Structure 1
Amino acid sequence: MESESSQRNSAAPPAPGAVFFDGASNRRRNVALTLSDALEIRDDGEELARWAFHDIRRADSPSGLLRLSCLTAPSLARLEIRDAQLTAGLVARCDALEDGLPNRKSVAAIVGWSLAAAVSIVLVVLFGVPLAAERLTPLVPDSFERRLGDVAEAQVKVIFDGKPCSNADGQAAFTKLVGKLRESAGLDNSVQSGVLATSVPNAFALPGGKVYLFDGLLAKADNPDEVAGVLAHELGHLRHRDSMRELIHNGGTSFLIGLLFGDVTGSGALIFASRSLVTSSYSRDAETNADTFAIETMHKLGRPAKPMGELMFRVTGKEGKGLSLVSSHPLTEDRLERMAKADAGAALNGAPLLSPAEWQALKDICGSGKV
């Protein structure tokens, strides 16, 4: 009676039904296999390869297919077997077949580390990125911030299809209004501002000292104080560099989320961050600080801050719903009430910011002066 060892090493007749790739070309060969002291791979009687059983390893393969590689063969060489009997014979002879494949413990470890990485990214997004934005914003050079503002300015005109309004009388009134606010706020003349001919009722600040007012908001305003308050609010965002801070915050968040979902190039972060220059929404603290800045600026001029709140409230509705201002100027009744209380304790005896004729010219700034 033959021993088990001799049975394992005895030659079995050639078995068809295998496909061989030699790793040196893309040629597909239908081969016969012989299980002797090693695995012999033959094509029409010609021996193509001889693989030692202890060098054979299982490769990734779909269900119903055994795909093999060999440590001593070219790295791309593969043998594919579908015959169940032949598969069983090979499995019985290859004692290191599973070496190198992930086992349950390693799979569990991979899953665990993946979950830990995901949680870490979420924590960085929630806590690390805001802190980094706060610390990095003061370090951004003014020249770089101005270049970002130029990029955002071009996007504004594309996204909102708005052209600068330059009616001479209206522009003179607008320049006078912005000048008074700038001087009251202690800002230098590097601040740039303009009115765009678009029906969207909005106003916002861009990095590098740019403030834009949309004709759609002018159309809804009833007096100069309403518009002045909104502009003062935007000047507050400029003074506090809120646009730059939000750019760092949103760009960093988008980049990390992109990594989580496979955007290793960071292209999504670039697109998101760039667009956030135009459509960013500020944090509650940033909005509160900008409100405070606007209130103080208006009161230095002896003018009320409440009209600003009334204009924004008129546009957005009770809880800031429905129109474009909700994205960048969420206004609640609490904020409007705060402005009214601040006005109650202030000396509001300043001269009107614009004459009736200047106010009418500002309202008509996008009339015949569109370019």
Structure 2
Amino acid sequence: MTEASAADARTIFFDGRSARRRHVTLVIGPVLEIVEEGTPLARWAWDDIRRADGHGRLRLKTLTGSNPLARLEIAAPGLARAVETRCPALDHGQGRGRTRQVLGWSAAACVSIVLLALYGIPFAADRITPLVPRSVEARLGDATDRQVRALLGGEACTRPQGQAALGQMVQALIDAGLPPEDDETVVDVVVLSSDVANAIALPGGRIYVFDGLLQKARTPDELAGVIAHEIGHVHHRDGLRMVIRAGSTSFVIGLLFGDVAGGAAIVTAADAVLNAAYSRDAETAADDFSAAAMTRLGRSPAAFGDLLVRVTGETGGHGTLLDSHPFGADRLARLAAAGTAAAGTATEGLALLSDADWQALKGICGGSSASGQPAPGPERQRLKNSDKPSGS
């Protein structure tokens, strides 16, 4: 039996029950005996001793014993080597245990991020959206608009006759669609010189109609149905809700991987406006808004469905309005039913545009914008309920 010198005073034992540092003597024999001033404190079997985490000195623990939290620290190099040589399983399972722990925490973090993105952020966005002031939404819309314009690269079409016809149509849809008490929703519709058959609504009321979609529309009612649908998204603040979801998800993932400033969040949000699909509930509500507005104007809501069917047949729906506005048989049937229900009034309302105004609107781009540059921002043409003529 060998007894280690206690004069070193660098062998410390923690019993796991308190933070007291006990200066101990080690007795090396069939087992490792830990003694304080002649009083045995613990007896550790060599096979059960394992290395514990630590740097600069040998730190040990045991798999058995009265307290699994007990630790032994040996600073003297000679004594540490003597103990290590007698521990046959000193490092047994250490690598695998750490690997499993790292993999476990990583998997838990990934699952948490996925669950947060799928359920937590949408849940929070739905409740945050109504609380966001319109002024804040407008500023967010301006920031998103700059990114969207950078991604699209198209120019705003500004031919005066076309703009006048567009303003006439939009104002009629606002008057028919928005409830009289809504004096906060502001709408700004811009036609972009792009061949893509699409239309998008941004936070704050900016709506982009692509010239590719305008050219596929055969009647003012078809285009009006699309614009009314987008006004519905503006009224319900769906663009803001989508940007909050996309930006928050990007920010959370950025925190996980090092983008602590969240710089990519607004870019991701802008990309989401262009590419992400609205939920089924949001699409249904926007469809209902469009159908109600067209019915009040005495025009058929089914014209919107006719345009969507045409876009589907010509392009398969890829890179078009159908990417961001999922279109199925149920939506077509609902729009057709709304058109049938409004059949008695479909021809009673005045035409939204005269033939001359419709041709002017179809030619609003004319190959390029009047200035050769994108039109100014939100101040260009913003319409709302308060713009209604008196007596309307």
**TM beyond 0.5:** yes
Indicate how the Cα distance of structure 1 residues 178 and 193 shifts in structure 2: closer, same or farther if over 3 A, else same.
Answer: same
Matched residue type, 2:370: K
Bigger relative CO (Cα 8 Å, ≥ 6 apart): 2
Give the corresponding residue for 1:175: 167
What's the TM-score once normalised by structure 1's chain length?
0.70
Is 1:370 aligned to 2:370, yes or no?
yes
What is the CA-CA distance between 1:106 and the residue it aligns to? 6.0
Rate the CA distance shift 1:152–1:103 in 2: closer, same or farther, 3 A: closer
Shift of 1:274: 3.7
Kindly indicate whether residue 360 of structure 2 is the aligned counterpart of residue 361 of structure 1.
Answer: yes
Q: Shift of the alpha carbon at 1:370?
A: 3.4
Q: Give how far 1:270 is off.
A: 4.3
Answer yes or no: is 1:158 the counterpart of 2:150. Answer: yes
User: Match of 2:72?
Assistant: none
Q: Which residue of 2 aligns with 1:272?
A: 268
Distance, in Å, in 1 between the alignment partners of 2:84 and 2:245 is: 55
C-alpha separation in 1, matches of 2:305 and 2:153: 27
- Please give the alpha-carbon distance, in whole angstroms, between the structure 2 residues aligned to 1:312 and 1:225: 13
Aligned to 1:194: 190
For 1:69 and 1:97, the matched residues in 2 are separated by 17
The aligned counterpart of 2:338 is: 342
Residue pair 1:319, 1:331 contacting (<8 A) in 2 also: no
Name the CA distance, whole Å, in 2 between partners of 1:341 and 1:215: 29
Equivalent residue for 2:27?
Answer: none
Aligned with residue 290 of structure 2, among 291, 294, 297: 294
Which residue does the alignment assign to 2:129?
137
Alpha-carbon contact 1:173-1:362 (below 8 Å) kept: yes
- Tell me, in whole angstroms, the C-alpha distance in 2 between the residues paired with 1:273 and 1:322: 21
Deviation of the 1:180 alpha carbon: 0.4
Q: What is the rounded CA distance, in whole Å, between the counterparts of 1:302 and 1:242 in structure 2?
A: 27
Mapped pair 1:92 → 2:85: yes
- 1:207 aligns with 203
1:247 is matched with 243
1:115 to 107, 124, 140: 107
> For 1:270 and 1:366, how far apart are their aligned partners in 2?
29
CA displacement 1:254-300 (0-9 Å, x = unmatched): 3344456x346244444322432443321111111100110001101
Identity of matched residues, %:
47
Structure 1 residue 130 displacement after superposition: 1.3
Worse overlay, 170-179 or 181-190: 181-190
| Aligned twin of 1:237 | 233
Are the counterparts in 1 of residues 200 and 273 from structure 2 also a CA contact under 8 Å? Answer: no
State the SS of the aligned residue for 2:186.
coil
Distance 2:191 2:339 in 1: 28
Q: Which residue of 1 aligns with 2:309?
A: 313
Q: Which amino acid in 2 is paired with 1:363?
A: K
Task: Tell me how large the CA RMSD over aligned residues is.
Answer: 3.4
**Mapping for residues 29-68 of structure 1, pairs under 5 Å:** none
Paired residue type of 2:207: V
Whole-Å Cα distance in 2 between the matches of residues 319 and 168 of structure 1?
31
Match of 2:350 in 1: 351
Matched, 1:327 2:331: no
Report if the CA contact (8 A) 1:197-1:370 is conserved: no
- The alpha carbon displacement at 1:98 in A equals 6.1
- Aligned in 2, Cα 1:321/1:217: closer, same or farther, shift over 3 Å? closer
Q: Secondary structure at the match of 2:85?
A: helix
Q: Tell me how many residue pairs correspond in the alignment.
A: 296
What TM-score, normalized by structure 2, do the two folds share?
0.66
Instruction: Kindly state the Cα deviation for residue 194 of structure 1 after the two structures are TM-superposed.
Output: 1.4
Cα deviation per residue 1:55-89 (whole Å; 9 max; x = unaligned)?
A: xx9999xxxxxxx8448xxxxxxxxxxxxxxxx98
Q: 1:304-335: CA deviations, max 9, x gaps?
A: 11111111221134996323223212212321
